Amino acid sequence: MHNAENGKQEGTANMNGIPYRFDDFGHNDVVAIADSDDNYEWVEACIVSYPSEGYVCFELRGSDGEGDPEALKRLREHLESYTVAFRCDFSKRDGFADAVRKAQAALDSFDWCVKSPS
């Protein structure tokens, strides 16, 4: 859920009910996922192809965060829940291009949601 008041993406994310938020910490070009104790992981949104599995995916990956190692592990694991997979026939050029377009649309939507001004 996008919180228009503070410009942060917030929600209750995992089975333990730990609230996570996306926050740019004052940087306009990057975003991090943070927990309620301000442990955070910087987030990279990317498009990845898995030909052997027949998917092109939009994924979020975390790195270079700061905080409790167990909290950082939970944040990275939570980011996996944002993966969106698009079925792809890699033997057809149009099929691959279509899957990449869909994955790019998901990435653009994520960027817009977490980086747009409130």
**How confident is the model over 4-54, as pLDDT tens digits?**
233 333 333 443 566 899 988 888 778 999 999 989 999 999 999 999 999
Q: Which two tokens stand for residue 17?
A: 């009910």
Domain that holds residue 93: 2-115
Based on the structure, what is the number of domains in the chain? 1
Instruction: Provide the whole-model pTM.
Output: 0.75
Q: Exposure string (b/e) for 21-53, b if CB count within 10 Å is 16 or more?
A: bbbeeeeeeebbbbbeeebbbbbebebebeeee
* pLDDT reported for residue 2: 26
Chain mean pLDDT for the chain: 83
Average pLDDT over residues 99-112: 93
Average pLDDT over residues 85-114: 93
CA 109 to chain centre: 11
Provide the 3-class DSSP secondary structure of residue 24: coil
Q: What is the DSSP letter of 4?
A: T
The residues near 12 (Cβ < 8 Å, ≥ 6 apart) are: 18, 19, 20
* pLDDT reported for residue 17: 63
Tokens 């079925």, residue located: 87
Number of H helices, E strands in the chain: 2, 7
Average pLDDT over residues 95-101: 96
